[in-house]
Structure 1
């Protein structure tokens, strides 16, 4: 089980390395909605490239929670736009 988690952690780390946003220095600069967008991009990318991909339950729960509490437009629309692209 730990090996499966390690693989997921490495996969997420690799995805986050590729998901850089110009002008954003750390994760604290992102709003909840922007984090939810990143998680959605992670899920969507893997669903398209990996047949039978199912995101880890924590990714699904975190994304749903962040979308629920963000309540609308992100505070940093420029960063949110960069994430979506």
Structure 2
């Protein structure tokens, strides 16, 4: 099954750019994902299990690395690449 996720990260810190870039870099380390980043959010496309495993890993890494962070996600069934 294919999955599309639209995810936004809001670090609760003055230096917010570094944690956002770090999260996106961590996502790119996972194989099998198609990632599109824009100024508002990041879209992740791929197989359901692959996407969810990558998100679980990257969100956990982000909490451990940067502390308090808010993630806002939308999950859509299918590969909805533009």
TM-score by length of 1: 0.40
**Bigger helix share:** 1
Which protein shows a greater Rg? 1
TM-score (normalised: structure 2): 0.41
